[in-house]
Amino acid sequence: MDFKDSPEQAEFRAEVQAWLKANAKPKTKDTVRGSQENRYKEAKAWYKKVFDAGYACIAWPKEYGGAGLSQIHKVIWSQEVEKYDEPDGYFVIGQGNCGPAMMHFATEQQKTELLPRMASAEDVWCQLFSEPSAGSDVAGLRTKAQLQGDKWIINGQKIWTSGAQHSDYGVILCRTDPDVSKYRGMTMFFIDMKQPGVDVQPITQMDGGSHFNEVFFNNAEIPDSQRLGDVGGGWGAALLVLMNERLAISGIQPDGFPELLKLVQSLDIDGEPARNNPLVRERLAHWYCQHAGLKASTNRMLTAVAKGGIPGAEAALGKLVGAVMNQDIANYVLQLLGDTGAISDESLAEQHAHFQNTVMFAPGIRLAGGTDEVMRNIIAEQVLGLPQEPRADKGIAFKDIPSGNQG
């Protein structure tokens, strides 16, 4: 057991450190988030710079735009880049989810043509799974793909699509056969998002922001050559994408603890340092145990992956614990601040209103990528091996299953 780099890893780390020092923006005390449009442009520029230096998609093969190195090299990169103020996780959905799907199912020509452009963020990709009637029950999706000649005609609606407004391509899961049971009637494709039949509409969230979109398909077209996997094999393909998503987001998800610790170090309550308050100390201890546990769990998972293991459903644990903690910590800080806690003016509130913003955004993080209950089901069924709930939709043709809001 050790946290040391091998000589070769240490050399790589030193090389990365030197490059970042010369090319990345240092973290400053007063970093204020710019507008969404600006952040997108900054991210595009950053990814291009990283790609040109050969550090994009480190664990991908070189012929597809990666660096041809291992997952551990990727981790070393993440650990180092985290020390800088750069949007290195901005296109994680494309590279983390769509990338592996393409790698696994696309033709050689599609891979050599499209993956390097994804790695450099010249092309932006999104993932189109969720629908208004298919959230936790994502296999209940209805967006139709019908074969006409060598083209599939797409009609329906996707929702909660991050980055759809910027996307050139999307990996989409469609219903290709409503007459068979629901898990058997789906097929995966990649679709050109910049075509007339695709209409992207931003969703205004409860916090006023709009990170997600609705995407409407009205006779949009996908050539059969852009099918990923077999007709009817979409569910298996989707599971592969979701498994990679867990690896991609592990260790990236914020749990709110560093911000809490920073606040407690400086805040006074009624003239007394918050750090001396026994109630505050009790909460600090509780959340630090979870924070340290998540960090160490990520290191255990990465060690397993480095030894050739597959990212396990265990990663659901990090999502479940981190997301709840993030919300609860933000709420707790507001309670500590009392009356002034409700002031969300970024020029007045602590840490540019980080806690106020988090209280309003955190409910969405708990839902994105699966609700708390879905995470618990994943742990119970896939890790502990407990039986599934009996399902009311088993053995019924998809078209005969009631779904969505019926009232």
Per CB under 8 A, residues contacting other proteins are 1-5, 72, 75, 261, 265-266, 275, 281-282, 284-286, 288-290, 292-297, 299-300, 302-304, 306-307, 314, 317, 320-321, 373, 375-377, 379-381, 383-390
Residue 76's nearest CA partner among 24, 3, 1, 2 is 3
Residue found by looking up tokens 């340290």 in the block: 292
Whichever of 214 and 381 has its CB closer to other proteins, that residue is 381
Whichever of 36 and 71 has its CB closer to other proteins, that residue is 71
CB of 372 to other proteins, least distance (A): 9
Whichever of 67 and 75 has its CB closer to other proteins, that residue is 75
CB of 35 to other proteins, least distance (A): 32
Residues 6+ apart with CB under 8 A from 364: 205, 206, 207, 211
Whichever of 13 and 151 has its CB closer to other proteins, that residue is 13
CB of 136 to other proteins, least distance (A): 12
Residue 406: CB atoms within 10 A of its CB come to 6
CB of 299 to other proteins, least distance (A): 4
CA distances from 406 to 22, 168, 401 (A): 58, 35, 12
What DSSP letter does each residue of 185-222 carry, written as one string? SEEEEEEESSSTTEEEEEPPPTTS---EEEEEEEEEEE
Distance CA 36, CA 299 (A): 32
CB of 374 to other proteins, least distance (A): 11
CB of 76 to other proteins, least distance (A): 9
CB of 72 to other proteins, least distance (A): 7
Whichever of 352 and 376 has its CB closer to other proteins, that residue is 376
Which phi and psi (to 5°) does residue 174 adopt? -130, 160
Distance CA 56, CA 77 (A): 10
CB of 276 to other proteins, least distance (A): 10
Whichever of 304 and 397 has its CB closer to other proteins, that residue is 304
Distance CA 304, CA 247 (A): 12
Range 130-135, long-range pairs (CB < 8 A, 24+ positions) = 130/158, 130/159, 130/160, 130/161, 131/156, 131/157, 131/158, 131/159, 132/157, 132/159, 132/404, 133/403, 133/404, 133/405, 134/403, 135/371
The CA R_g of the chain, rounded to the nearest whole Å, is 22
Whichever of 231 and 252 has its CB closer to other proteins, that residue is 252
Distance CA 190, CA 113 (A): 14
CB of 8 to other proteins, least distance (A): 13
Whichever of 196 and 308 has its CB closer to other proteins, that residue is 308
Whichever of 76 and 228 has its CB closer to other proteins, that residue is 76
